[in-house]
Amino acid sequence: MFWSNAFGTPLVIALGPDAIETVLTNRDRAFANKEGWDYFIGPFFERGVMLMDFEEHRQHRLILQQAFKRDRLLAYLEKVNATIARSIAAWRPGPGFELYEAAKQLTLDIATEVFMGEQIGAQADRINEAFIDVVVGGQAVVRADVPGGKWHRGLQSRRMLEDYFRAQIPKKRAGTGDDLFSVLCHAVSEDGERFADEDIVNHMIFTMMAAHDTSTITLAMMGYYLARHPGGRSGCGPSPAASARRRSATTTSSACPTWTSRSRRRCASTPRSGCSPARR
């Protein structure tokens, strides 16, 4: 355990399996999610389940669990696979192909179609940009609502997402959809508790972020390391020689996925990424 300072606030760093176990199990309730996360991302992911504590966290988690039972997960998976197949079929790996950007678009498409239950058409680009803005907002050095800054864009995007989800709730409550958004509108815990409209808005914004952000980074880093270390591909599936398409997608020469300076900046600036190669 040691002290540090970042973003103008003191931090306590827990390193090693024993220290991390103590924090995560939190048996004596000495650690709080809300007070820790609020400082960094609270304005952008207000009342997301990760930012709740103790009994309130338990109550919300029990309702959320209704959306993640086995039959629900299988239904989501079928849609996820269909979206992946359609999206990857349009990829054209080769010189200039940016794996990070493609993975970002793929995971956003999955999140909107599977979790929101619709193809959002003309609004898709703006909504996708809004999710990126709220993720990046918490990394702002100037942590104030100053026009032009990351914090300001994050707050604007948060408000836009709130308005979008709030406007969709009546339709989702009246319908019988099996997407996550619809399920949350109808979910009832074993104790008979339901989400209020604002709870649904908060959980959808947080879940949509969680649905694509970490997955994008993981896919990009997998591609990066497989390109650098082609010997590792043997454990990932069929040999590249089995398919000209797969071969072109995994070649380490000129067809290697491009790792542009923009991709490096995005990956390196995202919490949880651990993207040391992006800084090389």
CATH of the domain at 77: 1.10.630.10
- Asked whether residue 253 is domain-assigned, the answer is yes
- Asked whether residue 51 is domain-assigned, the answer is no
Query: With contact defined as beta carbons under 8 Å apart, do 122 and 113 qualify?
Result: no
Query: With contact defined as beta carbons under 8 Å apart, do 63 and 177 qualify?
Result: no
Q: What is the pTM assigned to this prediction?
A: 0.72
Sorted by sequence, the CB contacts under 8 Å of residue 248 that are 6+ apart come out as 93, 94, 255
- Asked whether residue 18 is domain-assigned, the answer is no
Query: With contact defined as beta carbons under 8 Å apart, do 107 and 215 qualify?
Result: yes
Number of Cβ within a 10 Å radius of residue 95: 9
- Asked whether residue 168 is domain-assigned, the answer is yes
Distance in angstroms (rounded) separating the CA atoms of residues 157 and 160: 5
Q: What is the CB-side half-sphere exposure of residue 117 using CA atoms within 13 A?
A: 18
φ, ψ for residue 238, nearest 5 deg: -60, 155
- Asked whether residue 100 is domain-assigned, the answer is yes
Give the pLDDT of the chain (280 residues) as one tens digit per residue: 888 887 778 888 889 999 999 988 888 888 888 888 888 888 889 888 888 888 888 889 889 888 888 988 888 888 889 989 999 999 988 888 899 889 988 888 888 888 887 666 667 778 888 888 998 888 888 888 889 899 999 999 999 999 999 999 999 999 888 888 998 999 888 888 899 999 999 999 998 887 777 888 899 999 999 889 888 777 776 654 554 454 444 444 434 445 444 444 444 444 443 333 333 3
Domain range holding 191? 69-228+240-279
- Asked whether residue 152 is domain-assigned, the answer is yes
pLDDT in the model for residue 269: 42
Distance in angstroms (rounded) separating the CA atoms of residues 86 and 106: 10
Greatest CA separation found in the chain? 58
- Asked whether residue 89 is domain-assigned, the answer is yes
Both tokens of 219, joined, read 């896919």
pLDDT in the model for residue 195: 92
Can you name the residues that pair with 10 across neighbouring β-strands?
Answer: 5
Distance in angstroms (rounded) separating the CA atoms of residues 138 and 46: 12
pLDDT in the model for residue 96: 87
Q: How many domains does the chain have?
A: 1
Sorted by sequence, the CB contacts under 8 Å of residue 62 that are 6+ apart come out as 189, 190, 191, 193
Can you name the residues that pair with 9 across neighbouring β-strands?
Answer: 6
Outline where the chain has alpha helix (H): 17-25, 33-41, 54-64, 70-89, 99-110, 124-137, 150-174, 180-186, 197-228, 244-250, 261-268
- Asked whether residue 219 is domain-assigned, the answer is yes
Distance in angstroms (rounded) separating the CA atoms of residues 147 and 30: 38
